[in-house]
C-alpha cells in the first residue's frame, strides 16, 4: 500500500480539488491511503471560533463563514443539488452545533480538540464524495477509530500498540481509502489532535502500521529546498536527504515536514517523497537511507524560526547555575509547555531560546522571577544552518544583531533581532 498526504494548500479551493483528481489519475494506484488536511486556512478559522466560544460568546458568524466557504467549494465540484455530500456536510455542522450547545467543559485544550478536527472531517467528506462521483471508488475512514492516543489534548501521544491493531484489522488492501490528518481519539473516544501541522505525522503513522511501500506528501513547493523559499532567496531543491538529516532539518524548524513524521518511517525504511502537486511528474525530494550522504546536492541548508523568546537566568545569591537549578528551570518549562529550541550555559548564567506556543510566557516569567534574576527578549529569530560555510554565515549575520551563537561541527545556530534603521 502507498500513502499519499494532501495538505491544506492542495485542497484550498475547487480547482485544487480537481488537481488532486488529476494527480490520482496520473498515479493510477489501487492500493492507497490518502490523508487530507483541512481546506486552506480552515484550521486557523476554527482556532478563532474556539477563542470566541471559550471567551463566552456563541461563534455564530464564524460558523456561517465556515459553512459558506465549504459550500462554495461544494457547489463548484458537484453539479446536482441532490449530491450525497450535502446531507453529510450538514450532519457535521449539526454535530459541531450540538457540541457547542451541550458542552459543559471550559478546559481550553479539551474543547479545542473537540472542535478543531471539523476542518479535516469536512475536507475528507468533500474530497471522498467528489472522487466517488468522478469514478474513483473509495472508502472514507474516521481517523479517530484508528489512531488512539493519550489525553494530552492538542499534543497527543500515539498509543502505537492499539493504533497498529486497529489499522491492520480495519483497512482492506487493494482499496482506496481517505482519512483525516491531525486527529485521533483517546480511550473515552474524545477527539484528540497531534499538534498543528500534524497531518504529515498521520501519514507517517498509517504508513508505519501498514508497512507501506512509500509515503508521498504533496506540497506547493517542488520538494524540500535548502531553505524556505518564502524566506531565503534562490533556494535550491534537495534531491535526496537521509532520514537522519531530514529529522534534524524538521526538528530545527524546516516546516515543510512535521518533525514527528520521519522516525516511524526510518524505523521501517519506508521512503518519503516530497513532491509538488503543481508538477506531479517531477521527481521532487526523496528521503531515504543516506549511505553516508546527508543531503544531495551537498549545500548549506537554512532554517529560521521566528517570534521566539530568549530568556537569560542567573541565581539571586551568586551561586552557580548547575544541575539542581537547571532541573527546576526545566520543570517550569514543562509545566508551561514551553518548547525549548536552544540552550547555552555558563557558570553563572543560563540562556534558553523557547517557543511560547501555548501563550504562557507571563506566568512562566513570574514564577522564574521568584527564584532567579531574569531577563528576556521577545520576538527573536533563531537561524540554523546545517553544513555551513563562511559565506552562509555571513549571509545570515548581515543586517542583524546576534544575541547568541552556537557552533557544532556541522550546525551553527544564531539567535538574532533585526537591526532597524529609522
Ligand atoms: P501543507 O499544505 O502540507 O500544510 P505546508 O504549508 O505545511 O504544507 O508546507 C509547505 C510550505 O513549507 C512551503 O510553502 C514553504 O513555504 C514551507 N517550507 C519551509 N521550509 C521549507 C523547505 N526547506 N523547503 C520547502 N518548503 C519549505
Ligand atoms: N489542519 C491542521 C493544521 O492546519 C493539520 C495540518 O494541516 O497538518 O495545523
Ligand atoms: Mg500545513
Task: List, in sequence order, every beta strand (DSSP E) within 28-173.
Answer: 32-36, 139-141
Whole-number percent of the chain with pLDDT over 70: 99
Looking up cell 478559522, which residue turns up?
Answer: 45
Looking up cell 460558523, which residue turns up?
Answer: 63
User: Considering only CA atoms, which of 68, 59, 60 is closest in space to residue 39?
Assistant: 68
What would the DSSP string read from start to end of 332-353?
Answer: HHHHTTPEEEEEEE-SS-EEEE
Q: What is the pTM of this model?
A: 0.92
Task: Round to whole Å and give the CA distance between 243 and 5.
Answer: 18
Mutate which of 11, 43, 154 for ligand 2 pocket (most atoms within 8 A of beta carbon):
43
pLDDT digits (tens, 9 = 90+) for 212-260: 999 999 999 999 999 999 999 999 999 999 999 999 999 999 999 999 9
Specify burial of residue 195 (Cβ count, 10 A radius: 0-12, 13-18, 19+). middle
Task: Round to whole Å and give the CA distance between 95 and 113.
Answer: 14
Task: Round to whole Å and give the CA distance between 25 and 55.
Answer: 46
- Alpha-carbon distances of 419 from 399, 402, 413, rounded to whole Å: 6, 10, 18
C-alpha cell at position 413: 545556530
Ligand 3 centroid – CA 89 distance (Å): 23
* Atom number, ligand 2, closest to the C-alpha of residue 120: 1
C-alpha cell at position 79: 453539479
- Alpha-carbon distances of 125 from 180, 192, 305, 351, 361, rounded to whole Å: 9, 19, 34, 47, 38
pLDDT recorded at residue 212: 97
pLDDT recorded at residue 420: 63
Looking up cell 494532501, which residue turns up?
Answer: 6
Query: Ligand 1 pocket, 7 CB below 6 A?
Result: yes
Residue 294, pLDDT above cutoff 70: yes
Protein residue closest via CA to atom 3 of ligand 2: 197
Residue 103, pLDDT above cutoff 70: yes
Higher-pLDDT residue of 145, 27: 145
User: Considering only CA atoms, which of 139, 214, 126, 225 is closest in space to residue 174?
Assistant: 139
Q: Are strands 32-36 and 176-180 parallel, antiparallel or unpaired?
A: parallel
pLDDT recorded at residue 358: 84
Q: Are strands 295-296 and 240-242 parallel, antiparallel or unpaired?
A: antiparallel
* Atom number, ligand 1, closest to the C-alpha of residue 249: 23
Query: Ligand 2 pocket, 392 CB below 6 A?
Result: no
Ligand 1 centroid – CA 327 distance (Å): 35
User: What is the Cβ-side half-sphere exposure of residue 201, based on CA atoms within 13 angstroms?
Assistant: 20
Residue 296, pLDDT above cutoff 70: yes
Query: Ligand 2 pocket, 400 CB below 6 A?
Result: no
322: number of Cβ within 10 Å:
12
Whole-number percent of the chain with pLDDT over 90: 91
C-alpha cell at position 64: 456561517
Query: Ligand 1 pocket, 120 CB below 6 A?
Result: no
pLDDT recorded at residue 85: 98
pLDDT digits (tens, 9 = 90+) for 10-51: 999 999 999 999 999 998 888 999 999 999 999 999 999 999
Angle (CA) 121 355 378, round 5° = 130
Query: Ligand 1 pocket, 300 CB below 6 A?
Result: no
Higher-pLDDT residue of 130, 292: 130
Residue 422, pLDDT above cutoff 60: no
pLDDT band with cut points at 50, 70 and 90 for residue 421: low
Long-range contacts formed by 166-173: CB under 8 A, 24+ apart: 167/206, 167/209, 167/210, 168/209, 168/210, 170/141, 170/145, 170/146, 171/1, 171/33, 171/141, 171/146, 171/210, 172/139, 173/1, 173/31
Amino acid at each position: 500500500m502507498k500513502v499519499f498526504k494532501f495538505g491544506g494548500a492542495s485542497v484550498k479551493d475547487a480547482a485544487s480539488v480537481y488537481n488532486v483528481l488529476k494527480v490520482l489519475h496520473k498515479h493510477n494506484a489501487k492500493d492507497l491511503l490518502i490523508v487530507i488536511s483541512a481546506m486552506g486556512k480552515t484550521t486557523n478559522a476554527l482556532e478563532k471560533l474556539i477563542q470566541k466560544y471559550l471567551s463566552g460568546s456563541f461563534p455564530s458568524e464564524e460558523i456561517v463563514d465556515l459553512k459558506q466557504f465549504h459550500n462554495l467549494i461544494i457547489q463548484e465540484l458537484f453539479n446536482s443539488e441532490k449530491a450525497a455530500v450535502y446531507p453529510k456536510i450538514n450532519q457535521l455542522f449539526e454535530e459541531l452545533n450540538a457540541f457547542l450547545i451541550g458542552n459543559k467543559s471550559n478546559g481550553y485544550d479539551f474543547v479545542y480538540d473537540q472542535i478543531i478536527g471539523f476542518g479535516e472531517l469536512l475536507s475528507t467528506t468533500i474530497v471522498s464524495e467528489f472522487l466517488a462521483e468522478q469514478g474513483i471508488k473509495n472508502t472514507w475512514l474516521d481517523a479517530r477509530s484508528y489512531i488512539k492516543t493519550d489525553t494530552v489534548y492538542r499534543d497527543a501521544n500515539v498509543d502505537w500498540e492499539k493504533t497498529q491493531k486497529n489499522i491492520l484489522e480495519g483497512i482492506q488492501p487493494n482499496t482506496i481509502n481517505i482519512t483525516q490528518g491531525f486527529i485521533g481519539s483517546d480511550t473515552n473516544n474524545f477527539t484528540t489532535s497531534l499538534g498543528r501541522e500534524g497531518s504529515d505525522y498521520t501519514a507517517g503513522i498509517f504508513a508505519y502500521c501498514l508497512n507501506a511501500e512509500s509515503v508521498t506528501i504533496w506540497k506547493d513547493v517542488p520538494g524540500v529546498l535548502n531553505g524556505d523559499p518564502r524566506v531565503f532567496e534562490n533556494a535550491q531543491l534537495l534531491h535526496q536527504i537521509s532520514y537522519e538529516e531530514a529529522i534534524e532539518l524538521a526538528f530545527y524548524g524546516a516546516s515543510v515536514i512535521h518533525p514527528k513524521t520521519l522516525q516511524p518511517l526510518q524505523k521501517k525504511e519506508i521512503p518519503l517523497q516530497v513532491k509538488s502537486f503543481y508538477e506531479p511528474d517531477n521527481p521532487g525530494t526523496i528521503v531515504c537511507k543516506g549511505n553516508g550522504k546527508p543531503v544531495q546536492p551537498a549545500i548549506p541548508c537554512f532554517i529560521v524560526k521566528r517570534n521566539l523568546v530568549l530568556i537569560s537566568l542567573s541565581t539571586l545569591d551568586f551561586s552557580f547555575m548547575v544541575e539542581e537549578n537547571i532541573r527546576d528551570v526545566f520543570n517550569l518549562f514543562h509545566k508551561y509547555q514551553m518548547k525549548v529550541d536552544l540552550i547555552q550555559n555558563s557558570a553563572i548564567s543560563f540562556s534558553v531560546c523557547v517557543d511560547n506556543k501555548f501563550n504562557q510566557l507571563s506566568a512562566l516569567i513570574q514564577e522564574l522571577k521568584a527564584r532567579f534574576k531574569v531577563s528576556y527578549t521577545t520576538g527573536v529569530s533563531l537561524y540554523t544552518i546545517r553544513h555551513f560555510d563562511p559565506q552562509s554565515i555571513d549571509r545570515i549575520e548581515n543586517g542583524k544583531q546576534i544575541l547568541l551563537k552556537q557552533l557544532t561541527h556541522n550546525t551553527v545556530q544564531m539567535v538574532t533581532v533585526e537591526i532597524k534603521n529609522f
